[in-house]
C-alpha cells in the first residue's frame, strides 16, 4: 500500500492548478481585509499565482505523460500547453482588466472569478473522465456568467441572461451526452469508453457524441452554439470580453481534441467528419457575419468564431497524424496572444464603439495603430506572426489527416477574413477625414470611464504592444516554443 506517497505525488502533479486555486482563495481572503484603494495588492497576488502556475506547468512538461487520481486527470503535452497558455493569458487579462476595474467596489471578486474560470478551462483540457468534464464545464462557465454582467448595465444584463440560458441548455445537452455514454459503456473514464464504445449501439452513440460536443462547442463558441459570443462580447467591457473569448476556448478546444483522440477514436460514427463540418461552418459563418459589422467588438467577436473553426480543424484530425499535437500547441498559444492583443487595442479606446470612432480616436496614436495592425494581420495569419505558424501547422496536419477539402476551404476563408480586418485597418492607418463620431449615450460607460489612475491609462496600450511583439516573437521563435512544449 503506497497510497500515501502516491497521493502526495499526484497532488504535486497538480501544482499548477493548485497555485491557481491558492491565488483565487488567497486573493479573496486578502481582498476582504484590504481597503478599497489598496486592492492592487490582490492583483499582485493573482498575477504572481498565474506566473508561478505557468512556470510549474512548464517544468511539468519535461516529465513523461501520465494520468493521476485514478486516471481522472491527464498530464501530457496538451494539458501542459493549455496550462501555460491559460495561466499567462489570465495574467494578461487581469492586467488588462485592472485598467477599468481599479477602484471598483468589486475589484477583488473579478480577479478571483477570472482565476476560477481559468482553473475550469485547465480542468476541461486535462479531464479524462466524462463526469470530470461536466464539473470542469460548470467551473469554466459559472464564473463567466458573473463576469459577463460585471458592468450591470442594460446591454450586459441582456448578454448575461442570454449567455446563462444558452450555457444551461448546453450543459443539459452535455449531461444527456454523458448519461448516454454511461448507458453505452457502463463507465465514464476515457480509457474504458475507448474500449467499450466501438461495440455500443449507434443511436445511443450518436446522442452521446452530439451531446458531449454540444457542451464543448458552447464553451469554444463554435457554430451552432455561438450565438452568445457577439452579444456577450459587445455587452461587456473590452478587457473582460478579451478574457471571455480567449480563456475558455483554450480549454474547450483541448477537451474536444482529447475526446476525438481517445473515447471517440474508434466509434462506428464519422466523428472527425462531424468536427470538420463544425469547423467549416464556424469559419465560414463567422466570417460571413463579420463582414457586416460596424462595431469593433462585434467584429472581433465574429472573428473569434471563425478562429474556432481553424482550431477545430486540428481537432478533426486528432490522433490521425503526428502533426496534430504540435499544431494545436502552436495555434492555441498564438491565438491566445493575438486575440488578447486585438481586444486590448479595443480596450485602449474603450469608449469608441464603432470602427469609425475608433479610427478617429486613434488618429494621434500611430504607435497604437501599428500594434493593432500587427495583431489584426496576425489574426489573418500573415507571416511571421504566431498565428501564421499555427495556421501552417494546422493546414498541414489537416491535409495529412485526409481533410484536404477543409484546407482549401480554410484558405478561402482566410482570404475572406482579410476583407473585414482590413475594414478596420484601413480607416485606422490611412488618414481620412471622418464625420464627427456620433455620441453614444448608452449607460454602458460607467465602469469604462472610471479610469482615474495613471496606471489605468497605460495598461492597455502597453498590453497591445507587448502582445504584438510577443506574437511576432512567438512566430519567429516557434521552434523554441515547440521545443519547450514537445520535449
Q: How far is the CB of 142 from other proteins (least distance, A)?
A: 37
- Spatial distance between the Cα atoms of 79 and 328, rounded to a whole number of angstroms: 11
Q: How far is the CB of 473 from other proteins (least distance, A)?
A: 13
The binder of other proteins chosen from 172, 273, 415, 457 (CB under 8 A): 415
Q: Which is nearer to other proteins, 133 or 407 (CB)?
A: 407
Is 370 a binding residue for other proteins by CB under 8 A? The answer is: yes
Query: Quick check: helix, strand or coil at residue 67?
Result: strand
Q: Which stretch binds other proteins (CB under 8 A): 76-84, 112-120, 191-199, 395-403?
A: 395-403
Query: Quick check: helix, strand or coil at residue 41?
Result: helix
DSSP string of 346-408?
HHHTTT--BHHHHHHHTTT-HHHHHHHHHHHHHHHT-TTSHHHHHHHHHHHHHHHTT-HHHHH
Q: Can you read off the three cell numbers belonging to residue 337? A: 496572444
Contacts of 460 (CB under 8 A, 6+ apart): 96, 99, 239, 344, 345, 347, 348, 350
Is 292 a binding residue for other proteins by CB under 8 A? The answer is: no
Is 430 a binding residue for other proteins by CB under 8 A? The answer is: yes
Q: How many residues belong to the site for other proteins (CB under 8 A)?
A: 35
The binder of other proteins chosen from 49, 389, 467, 468 (CB under 8 A): 389
- Spatial distance between the Cα atoms of 457 and 465, rounded to a whole number of angstroms: 14
Residue with cell 501547422: 393
Q: Which is nearer to other proteins, 168 or 411 (CB)?
A: 411
Q: Which stretch binds other proteins (CB under 8 A): 117-125, 146-154, 162-170, 477-485?
A: 477-485
Q: Which stretch binds other proteins (CB under 8 A): 115-123, 295-303, 415-423, 445-453?
A: 415-423
Alpha carbon separation from 435 to 223, 296, 350, 360, 430 (Å, rounded): 36, 17, 19, 9, 15
Q: Which is nearer to other proteins, 103 or 402 (CB)?
A: 402
Is 393 a binding residue for other proteins by CB under 8 A? The answer is: yes
The binder of other proteins chosen from 183, 419, 440, 443 (CB under 8 A): 419
Q: Which is nearer to other proteins, 59 or 483 (CB)?
A: 483
Q: How far is the CB of 369 from other proteins (least distance, A)?
A: 11
Q: Using alpha carbons, select from 194, 241, 251 the residue that is nearest to residue 220.
A: 251
Q: How many C-beta neighbours within 10 Å does residue 131 have?
A: 15
Q: Which is nearer to other proteins, 142 or 473 (CB)?
A: 473
Query: Quick check: helix, strand or coil at residue 82?
Result: helix
Spell out, one character per residue from 294 to 323, where the chain touches other proteins: x when CB under 8 A holds, - when not.
-----------------------------x
Is 383 a binding residue for other proteins by CB under 8 A? The answer is: yes
Is 422 a binding residue for other proteins by CB under 8 A? The answer is: yes
Rounded to 10 degrees, what is the CA torsion of 279, 284, 290, 291?
170
The alpha carbon of 186 is separated from its chain's Cα centroid by a whole number of angstroms, namely 32
- Spatial distance between the Cα atoms of 313 and 379, rounded to a whole number of angstroms: 16
Q: Which is nearer to other proteins, 165 or 426 (CB)?
A: 426
Contacts of 223 (CB under 8 A, 6+ apart): 217, 278, 281, 282, 285, 286, 305, 309
Is 474 a binding residue for other proteins by CB under 8 A? The answer is: no
Tell me how far apart the terminal alpha carbons of the chain are, to the nearest angstrom: 33
The DSSP output letter for 73 is E
Q: How far is the CB of 373 from other proteins (least distance, A)?
A: 8
The binder of other proteins chosen from 98, 233, 287, 382 (CB under 8 A): 382
Is 399 a binding residue for other proteins by CB under 8 A? The answer is: yes
Q: Which stretch binds other proteins (CB under 8 A): 119-127, 257-265, 426-434, 455-463?
A: 426-434
Q: How far is the CB of 367 from other proteins (least distance, A)?
A: 9
Query: Quick check: helix, strand or coil at residue 438?
Result: coil
Q: How far is the CB of 362 from other proteins (least distance, A)?
A: 15
The binder of other proteins chosen from 289, 418, 464, 474 (CB under 8 A): 418
Q: Which stretch binds other proteins (CB under 8 A): 8-16, 42-50, 90-98, 391-399?
A: 391-399
Is 402 a binding residue for other proteins by CB under 8 A? The answer is: no
Q: How many C-beta neighbours within 10 Å does residue 168 have?
A: 12
- Spatial distance between the Cα atoms of 32 and 35, rounded to a whole number of angstroms: 8
Is 102 a binding residue for other proteins by CB under 8 A? The answer is: no
Residues that bind other proteins (CB under 8 A): 323, 326, 366, 370, 377, 382-384, 388-389, 392-393, 395-396, 399-400, 407-408, 411-412, 414-415, 418-419, 422, 426, 429-430, 432, 476, 478-479, 482-483, 486
Amino acid at each position: 500500500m503506497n497510497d500515501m506517497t502516491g497521493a502526495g505525488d499526484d497532488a504535486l502533479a497538480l501544482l499548477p492548478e493548485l497555485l491557481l486555486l491558492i491565488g483565487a482563495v488567497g486573493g479573496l481572503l486578502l481582498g476582504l481585509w484590504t481597503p478599497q484603494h489598496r486592492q492592487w495588492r490582490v492583483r499582485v497576488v493573482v498575477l504572481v499565482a498565474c506566473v508561478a502556475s505557468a512556470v510549474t506547468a512548464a517544468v511539468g512538461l519535461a516529465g513523461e505523460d501520465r494520468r493521476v487520481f485514478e486516471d481522472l486527470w491527464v498530464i501530457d503535452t496538451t494539458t501542459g500547453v493549455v496550462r501555460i497558455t491559460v495561466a499567462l493569458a489570465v495574467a494578461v487579462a487581469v492586467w488588462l482588466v485592472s485598467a477599468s476595474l481599479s477602484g471598483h467596489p468589486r475589484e477583488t471578486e473579478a480577479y478571483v472569478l477570472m482565476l476560477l474560470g481559468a482553473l475550469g478551462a485547465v480542468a476541461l483540457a486535462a479531464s479524462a473522465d466524462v463526469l470530470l468534464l461536466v464539473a470542469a464545464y460548470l467551473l469554466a462557465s459559472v464564473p463567466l456568467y458573473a463576469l459577463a454582467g460585471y458592468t450591470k448595465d442594460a446591454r450586459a444584463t441582456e448578454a448575461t441572461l442570454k449567455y446563462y440560458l444558452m450555457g444551461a441548455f448546453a450543459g443539459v445537452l452535455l449531461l444527456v451526452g454523458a448519461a448516454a455514454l454511461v448507458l453505452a459503456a457502463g463507465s465514464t473514464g476515457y480509457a474504458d469508453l475507448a474500449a467499450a464504445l466501438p461495440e455500443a449501439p449507434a443511436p445511443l452513440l450518436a446522442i452521446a457524441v452530439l451531446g458531449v460536443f454540444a457542451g464543448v462547442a458552447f464553451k469554444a463558441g463554435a457554430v451552432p452554439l455561438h450565438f452568445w459570443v457577439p452579444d456577450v462580447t459587445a455587452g461587456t467591457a473590452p478587457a473582460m470580453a478579451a478574457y471571455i473569448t480567449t480563456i475558455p476556448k483554450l480549454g474547450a478546444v483541448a477537451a474536444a481534441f482529447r475526446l476525438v483522440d481517445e473515447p471517440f477514436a474508434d466509434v462506428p460514427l464519422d466523428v472527425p467528419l462531424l468536427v470538420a463540418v463544425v469547423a467549416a461552418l464556424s469559419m465560414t459563418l463567422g466570417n460571413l457575419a463579420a463582414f457586416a459589422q460596424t462595431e469593433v467588438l462585434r467584429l472581433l467577436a465574429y472573428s473569434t468564431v471563425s478562429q474556432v473553426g481553424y482550431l477545430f480543424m486540428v481537432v478533426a484530425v486528432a490522433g490521425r497524424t503526428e502533426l496534430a499535437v504540435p499544431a494545436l500547441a502552436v495555434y492555441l498559444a498564438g491565438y491566445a496572444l493575438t486575440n488578447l492583443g486585438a481586444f486590448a487595442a479595443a480596450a485602449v479606446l474603450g469608449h469608441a464603439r464603432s470602427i469609425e470612432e475608433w479610427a478617429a480616436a486613434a488618429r494621434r496614436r500611430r504607435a497604437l495603430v501599428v500594434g493593432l495592425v500587427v495583431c489584426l494581420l496576425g489574426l489573418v495569419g500573415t507571416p511571421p506572426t504566431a498565428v501564421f505558424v499555427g495556421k501552417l501547422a494546422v493546414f498541414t496536419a489537416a491535409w495529412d489527416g485526409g481533410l484536404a477539402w477543409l484546407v482549401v476551404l480554410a484558405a478561402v476563408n482566410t482570404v475572406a477574413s482579410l476583407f473585414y480586418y482590413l475594414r478596420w485597418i484601413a480607416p485606422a492607418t490611412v488618414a481620412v477625414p471622418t464625420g464627427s463620431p456620433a455620441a453614444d449615450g448608452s449607460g454602458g460607460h460607467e465602469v469604462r470611464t472610471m479610469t482615474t489612475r495613471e496606471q489605468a491609462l497605460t495598461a492597455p496600450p502597453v498590453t497591445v504592444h507587448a502582445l504584438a511583439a510577443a506574437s511576432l516573437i512567438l512566430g519567429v521563435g516557434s521552434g523554441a516554443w515547440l521545443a519547450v512544449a514537445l520535449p
